Amino acid sequence: MKPKDVLEMAKQAGAVMVDLRFIDLPGVWQHTSVPIHRLTEGAFEDGFGFDGSSIRGYQPINASDMLVVPDATTAQMDPFTARPTLALICSVVDPITRQPYSRDPRYVARKAEAYLKQVGVADTCYCGPEAEFFVFDNVRYDQNNHEGFYQIDSDEGQWNTGKDGKNLGYKIRHKEGYFPLPPADTLMDIRTEMVERLMGAGIEVEVSHHEVASAGQCEIDMRFQPLVQMADKLMWFKHVVKNVARAHGKTATFMPKPLYGDNGSGMHVHQSFWLGGKPLFAGDGYAQMSEMALHYIGGVLKHAPALAALTNPTTNSYRRLVPGFEAPVNLAYSSRNRSASIRIPMYDTSPKAKRVEVRFPDPSCNPYLAFSALMMAGVDGILNKIDPGDPLDKDIYALSSEELAAVPHMPGSLEEALIALEKDHEFLLRGDVFTRDVIEMWLEYKRDKELNPVRLRPVPYEFFLYYDI
């Protein structure tokens, strides 16, 4: 779609406002709106000014003037605004040099796609994320210097079987939410509305279902797309899920581990390389994979501890990545085996369906950075012919302690992941995809704004453990 097509689209839809969206460093959409008359063909080159010093991970206040430049190919009418509003995803540009801003995560992803072509490995990296989420009926939380709490409720929650008042039964037991029919699954109609909204925004949906956890865990899968397009669509996905939930008086979260004692929310990422319209991951090796695909796996396994800082970037991520529980913390690959951190799906034997499923990421990540980092690790594996070792087709959780000791694993905390990224990030800098400034800003932000503030605060269970010491 060209700028003139966008203007015609807005006219036909009766748009009165334009919503200009871009992403901050941690991975949350930001926006500013302007009246429709300000959107001209020239605006797609000139952009619109904003204060970058107020955006997380962006410019300091002494260099705060920045531009958002809309991408005409991303135009969609927002389905949730009271007045017709055209939404455009934007890139961030320096107003003086007119160069793309190095800390704009979408720019990092665009450079990743260009690097893939530059090294001649492939011309397209397809990504297909499975972003799980919870839909709760209520959430309350607060913390100050002398108290702290969180409280979640869901009509589906197993804890409500003994609730006074109108209960109606059919509560989903912990870890038994995959795939009960209504009335146990209370969210089918809401998920269907989410699917309709997503398809209305041009996003192809493949499946919708309740997930394993009690209390409203859901999954809606989108069809794979090239890297930048998929990251754009994942941001729309989160926007749709949260707003449909809110319209029904509920609240949706992509927090990886909001519930103790039940499954957390992961985001398995399927990736494959193509060249000239032909898939490159199909072959005659293990699980009908090509040598390229196995080297890709080798690269991801080698760099996984550093990747975790970008694919599992919150302190809460590591409540999910706990050895011995449901998350794939052990760094191994397998066909079919879901206890491996990298799986080769075997639903379809078609060469076009051959892909690698990386199972450790979670939906708290910034998709532009996470998809790009995974791709860069895979490319490093291909260029350096990194051997992934032997596949592990056994149930990892049934291995003896001696066998398990030989299997490397993911970091156990955000601190460990940040240290790993600090030591191992040269593969991300190739082709100037990630810059040292981006890596340094990411490490600084995560430590100063998330890791240390969480470490400084006591949690309720510590009172249970230690108050009488």
Annotated catalytic residues are 51, 130, 132, 211, 219, 268, 338, 357, 359
Q: Are β-strands 333-335 and 342-344 bridged in parallel, bridged antiparallel, or unpaired?
A: parallel
Among 77, 75, 215, 211, which residue's Cα sits nearest to residue 138?
Answer: 215
Residue holding tokens 């959430």?
Answer: 139
- What is the sign, positive or negative, of the torsion defined by CA atoms of 153, 463, 418, 302? negative
For residue 143, what are the β-bridge partners? 148
* Euclidean distance between CA atoms 68 and 89, whole angstroms: 9
DSSP β-ladder status, 267-275 and 217-222? unpaired
Residues 148, 154, 159: CA angle, nearest 5 degrees: 80
Q: Is 191 helix (H, G, I), strand (E, B) or coil?
A: helix
Sequential DSSP letters for 158-169: GGGGG-SS---S
Nearest to 371 by CA among 108, 30, 71: 108
Q: What number of CA atoms fall less than 13 Å from residue 290's CA on the CB side?
A: 17
CA-to-CA dists, residue 121 to 113, 273, 384, angstroms = 11, 8, 12
Cα separation, 19 vs 77, in Å, equals 9
Task: Tell me if residue 143 falls in helix, strand or coil.
Answer: strand
- What would the two tokens of residue 245 be? 């939930």
CB 344 within 8 A of CB 356: yes
